[in-house]
Chains A and B, each alone.
Chain A
């Protein structure tokens, strides 16, 4: 019943392994995308004292299918003065990297498409390519709102890359390898307990990278009327929508693998544990979306450069010191120590953190 992973010397050779896992990954992304859109709308609605979609199919489970059909059947409008080739390519460039991330995430012990020994580095590199797609979309739409949205997107992604990468490096130090499979194997204690500050920094930074509330100012509904998405309709818009949820899924999967112990857990089969943890992280993302207002662009960048970046450096320094100076001490000792240090640092840094100037003299 448990899924058998295919060893490299399986008689089907490399290409069969690749084909099977590609099919699995594509199916996984598409099915989870449908499930996530449904789950988000229902959870958001119940937290807002109303019912979500519950007409299309039992409990509204066919609602994503209905949405997909609607999106496919819409007319494809291209702005007359926009750059047509760029306009056509932008959704593709935005969506494909989100899929590529899943090549290195282990669904079960050893079950992954390619066990790269630079796993985390590959993920970080690939996930930045979506920004190019979004900027192409903003540029090619020939619309001032889209361009504003695209500019904000670039500023925010560039600012948040650094704290995200630095917080992951702490985990890499503890696990001793960049490969995701080794990181999962090294988590006898889940790294969320050993690196609480790293988890928080990574989570906030990742939310900013994928443009979810409270950082969704590139597609702020109430200001820019959907930002770079304005001039898109039909399946091209559908691809942007798909890209947003695929990235949210990717972030949940990365957080699960790197901080929560991946597929490890008692009792239940491994792939089920993976799905449960991904689901929990996604629920937290939706919960945050329900509650918190949006930040402004300069506050966003101030948060990245003045708050998260120094904390990430300090986190790295403390982790490195702990590993070098006390290599034989059991890791359980570091759990309360790290949690205490995290709380102290956050409280201390909040006292000194000041946002930038708000009003400009014109």
Chain B
């Protein structure tokens, strides 16, 4: 190597690094500070609206690995399908959101929450009881802009640029 710049290239690099001593770091201290995920985030669970679901099974057909299991029976009195069990294997699911897009009755949503880790593999199986929308289990605005507008704004790095003091 010819020292084309007589060591000046290295000196320029050193100034870049030392300037970072004066900048605030860009990392945040989780779990004390949590950043807001996107309004359309595809969280780690599915949320199901029992009232609107008709048991058509479009979501199960749209799922590309068959993680949704629906079991229905006919209810001749009210002339509709009664959904006996609706189960999602979140261990198998890849959270692609195709099922949410496929539902014609707006009965299926992705959740807003990402801290859904369980201790046992069996706990990852979601069934009718723990798929309803509650204040703790929020719905994400994926594919539904009306719902997205009600969620908090996403924290963007370009906004609060922690690169400068």
Please tell me whether chains A and B touch each other in their complex, using a CB distance cut-off of 8 A.
yes
List A residues at the B interface (Cβ < 8 Å): 43, 45-51, 54, 287-288, 290-292, 299, 346-347, 350-351, 353-355
Q: Are B17 and A291 in contact (CB under 8 A)?
A: yes
Whether B7 contacts A292 by the Cβ 8 Å rule is: no
Residue of chain B at shortest CB distance from A354: B2
How far does the alpha carbon of A1 sit from the alpha carbon of B21 in the complex, in Å? 35
A287 touching B17, Cβ below 8 Å: yes
Is the Cβ of B2 less than 8 Å from the Cβ of A291?
no
Interface size (B, Cβ < 8 Å)? Answer: 19
By a CB distance below 8 angstroms, the chain A residues around B17 are 47, 287, 290-291
The answer for the CA separation of A299 and B2 in the assembled complex, in Å, is 12
Report chain B residues within 8 Å CB of A54: 29
Would you call B6 and A346 a contact (CB within 8 A)?
yes
- Whether the Cβ atoms of A50 and B27 lie closer than 8 Å is yes
Main SS of the interface on chain B? loop
Q: Given A287-B18, A290-B17, A353-B2, is A50 in contact with B26 using a C-beta cutoff of 8 Å?
A: yes
29 example contacts (A-B, Cβ-Cβ < 8 A) are as follows: A43-B21, A45-B25, A46-B21, A47-B17, A47-B21, A48-B20, A49-B23, A50-B25, A50-B26, A50-B27, A51-B25, A51-B27, A51-B29, A54-B29, A287-B14, A290-B17, A291-B10, A291-B13, A291-B14, A291-B17, A292-B10, A346-B7, A347-B6, A350-B3, A351-B2, A353-B1, A353-B2, A354-B2, A355-B1
- With A and B bound together, what is the CA distance between A360 and B75 in angstroms? 82
Query: Mostly helix, strand, loop or mixed at chain A's interface?
Result: helix
Chain A residue contacts of B16, Cβ below 8 A:
291
Q: Check A47–B20 contact: CB distance below 8 A.
A: yes
Which B positions have Cβ atoms within 8 angstroms of A? 1-3, 6-7, 10, 13-14, 16-18, 20-21, 23, 25-27, 29, 163
Q: Please measure, in the bound complex, the distance between the C-alpha atom of A49 and the C-alpha atom of B18, giving whole angstroms.
A: 11
List of B residues within 8 angstroms of A50 by Cβ: 25-27
| Chain B minimum-CB-distance residue to A214 | B10
Chain A: which residue is nearest B20 at the CB level? A47
| Most A Cβ at <10 Å: residue of B16, B17, B21 | B17
Least distance between B33 CB and chain A CB atoms (Å):
12
Cβ-defined contact, A299 with B20, below 8 A:
no
Contacts of B14 in A (CB 8 A): 287-288, 291-292
Task: Tell me the minimal C-beta distance from A288 to chain B in angstroms.
Answer: 7
Does A46 contact B3, Cβ atoms closer than 8 Å? no
The 4 A-B pairs of least Cβ separation, nearest first, read A350-B3, A50-B27, A291-B17, A47-B20
Given the contacts A50-B27, A291-B13, A353 and B20 also touching, CB distance less than 8 Å: no
Give Cα A47 to B14, complex, Å: 10
Task: State how many angstroms separate the Cβ of B17 from the closest Cβ of chain A.
Answer: 5
Please indicate the chain B residues that have their CB under 8 angstroms from the CB of A51 in the complex: 25, 27, 29
13 further contact pairs, Cβ within 8 A, besides A49-B25, A287-B14, A346-B7: A47-B20, A47-B21, A49-B27, A49-B163, A50-B25, A50-B26, A51-B25, A291-B10, A291-B14, A292-B10, A292-B13, A350-B6, A350-B7
Q: Which residue of A lies closest to B14 (CB)?
A: A291
CB distance from B97 to the nearest CB of A (A): 32
Residue of B1, B13, B29, B163 near A299 (CB, 8 A) is B1
- With a cutoff of 8 Å between Cβ atoms, the chain A residues found around residue B2 in the complex are 350-351, 353-354
